[in-house]
Amino acid sequence: MELLLLALLSLHILKTEAVVGGHWCYRSQKCELPQCEDPLQWHQINRACKGSRQSPVNIVTRNVVYDKSLKPLTFEGYDVKGSAKWDVENNGHTVKVTLNTSPKVGGGGLGRKYKAVEFHLHWGVPGEPQSIPGSEHSIDGEKYPMELHIVHIREDVSDVTEAKKTPDGLAVLAFFVKADEENKNYATLLSELENIKYKGQSAQIDPLPLSSLLPPEEDLRRYYRYEGSLTTPDCYEGVIWTIFEKPVELSLSQLSQFSALHFDGKNSTPMMENFRPAQPLQDRKVLWSSASIPLPMAKLLLLLPLLCTVSSLAH
């Protein structure tokens, strides 16, 4: 009997270790790696992935709540080109760019300042960005070809690990990416993708002002805000999300350059559809910035009865 109990206990320990050490993946990797844990199974690796404040979400515009405290954000150091090179890496899930300077963001109802530490992207099928889009967030069910995430941590902590020890440790700025005009500011980064085709490969590029990769600051007054999580395991819930309405523009040929990437080594699955599906909003509210209120339309609605009166008098 004791031997049986010991055997069962050993099996339980082995099973627990297998789950804890499980390899998470995206749905597009399941053919090559049938044993990997796709988004529907991430909670088996990290229990938080089934929490009540998960990201991304579908933003239903008719349900958003206008919040007058959401003024334009203040960007510090975003227009500064640092002296140290940026590290660009294929980490097996995305292209991750580690920043060697710490631009900061504040205001906009954040309550504290956050410093930028890295940015990365999520996409669908680079060769068919219109038909198989890959943004993580969506607006009224509509997705964009790609989504850029700039990850920030509280300015009073040293790294992401320390930031995760607090309930508001991270702030992520999210930008949709649409297929439109060529964006020359992305040329340096995109030209490096050929050199980081496979997992673990990295390169260095000359730094840019972070603002050069984003829409003009005057276009960043309109945004959505909600409390959520990281969109990859460990799915830490303590992320303040800011999703901007104005997208970044890349040309179709620029988007297709992401086709060079693979999830693993040579002959592995091409890196595509590296996004997490939308999560339930549950009882959370998505807030809408004050600058988003369409005042001209509101004024027009107020004028309509007057216009109708004038029109009837004219007849």
So which residues are the catalytic ones? 93
Query: From CA 283, how far away is CA 31, in angstroms rounded?
Result: 35
Q: Are 275 and 124 in contact (CB under 8 A)?
A: yes
> Structure tokens of 140?
């009224």
Q: What is the CA 233 to chain-centroid distance, rounded? A: 14
Q: Are 39 and 213 in contact (CB under 8 A)?
A: no
List the one residue out of 144, 145, 142 whose CA is nearest residue 129. Answer: 145
Terminal Cα-to-Cα distance of the chain (whole angstroms): 99
Structure-block tokens of residue 224: 């959505």
Whether the CB-CB separation of 230 and 240 falls below 8 Å is answered with: no
CA-based nearest residue to 89, from 212, 176, 205: 205
Token pair 């999300």 in the structure block, residue? 241
